[in-house]
Amino acid sequence: MGLQVEIYDAGSYLLIKAASQYSLVNLTDLLDRAAQEAEKRNYGEVLLDLSAVAGSVPVLDMLVIGEHCARVWKRTRKLAIVSAKGGLESFFEDVCVNRGVVLAVFPDQAAALAWLMI
C-alpha cells in the first residue's frame, strides 16, 4: 500500500497527515514532499502527523531518515512531527537537531502545536 497524504492550509501553519505501513522510502519521500509544499506555499511552520503510519521504525532507519531530513529541510522552517509509539522517536529528533534542523517529535497533536506556535 502506498503512502496516503492529505495537505491542509491550517492558517498559520501547514498540516500534513500521512497514513500507510511504515517504509523507509515512504518516509524519506514524505519529507521531500513536505519540504517542497512548505516552500511552495511559503509556510515557516509545518505539522507532520504520522500517527496513522503503522509499524515500527528501526533505529538505523531513524538515522538514515534524520540525515535525509537534514539535507532537505530548510533551517529557517520549524517542523513538528506527531508519531505513534514505535515510530519516529527521540533518536531521530537528535539526529536532525544535531544537524541544524528546527524539529521536535511529539506523541500527540496538541503538544506538537503548542511547540510549533511558540
Quote the pTM value. 0.94
pLDDT (tens digit per residue) in 22-71: 999 999 999 999 999 999 999 999 999 999 999 999 999 999 999 999 99
Residue 58: which region, alpha, beta or left (left: phi > 0; alpha: psi -120 to 50)?
beta
Could you tell me if 1 and 35 are in contact, meaning their C-beta atoms sit under 8 angstroms apart?
Answer: no
Q: How many residues does the chain have?
A: 118
Could you tell me which of 32, 92, 19, 99 has the C-alpha nearest to residue 57? 92
Domains of the chain plus CATH, in order, are 4-116 (3.30.750.24)
Label residue 83 exposed, middle or buried (CB < 10 Å: 0-12, 13-18, 19+): buried
pLDDT (tens digit per residue) in 98-110: 999 999 999 999 9
